[in-house]
Amino acid sequence: MVRTLLCAVLALPLAAFFAFVGWHKAFSPLAELVKHGAYTVHLPEWLGRIAGVTEMLCALALLAGIVPRWRVAAKWGAVYVFVSQIVAGTIHILYGETHSLPANGQRMAMAAALFAVCVWPVRKATAAGELA
């Protein structure tokens, strides 16, 4: 129960963010993406659009992972978030857009925490009431 709550607290804001920005990276005009500082404007357009679609898929994985049976989806969603923020941060640094780095770091921290919650071993109570 606590694990599911922690998973939801971490996954919901990440999923909402990646669904929103993924949609815009996939479908918004490039001028709009430039206005909002999307790192994908520095990539070939087709690659930036693919990044947007994968971010929307990541959002679905994060949401699915709230359900204990599908927790592995949140684990891999968290890995995607972490890696994508390394890529985004690197591109922002290369183009002198360092104002974006704190937000990238915050999302990396949330992804690392979500990953930890997802892989945290579940300990079962024994007949004597002790944790195994």
Copy the structure tokens of residue 89.
């941060």
120: left (phi over 0), alpha (psi -120 to 50) or beta: beta
Domain span at 97: 2-119
Q: Which of 49, 62, 66 is nearest to 111 (CA)?
A: 62
Q: What percent of the chain has pLDDT over 90?
A: 76
Q: Mean of the pLDDT values across residues 114-118? A: 90
Nearest to 80 by CA among 72, 91, 69: 72
Q: How far apart are CA 2 and CA 50, in angstroms?
A: 35
Residue 126 lies in a domain: no
pLDDT tops 60 at residue 131: no
pLDDT score of 119: 79
pTM confidence score:
0.85
> Structural domain tally of the chain?
1
Higher pLDDT, 106 or 1: 106
pLDDT of residue 79: 95
User: Is 51 inside a domain boundary?
Assistant: yes
Average confidence (pLDDT) over 76-101 = 95
Is 128 domain-assigned?
Answer: no
124 in a structural domain: no
Please report whether residue 129 resides in a domain.
Answer: no
Q: Is residue 106 part of a domain?
A: yes
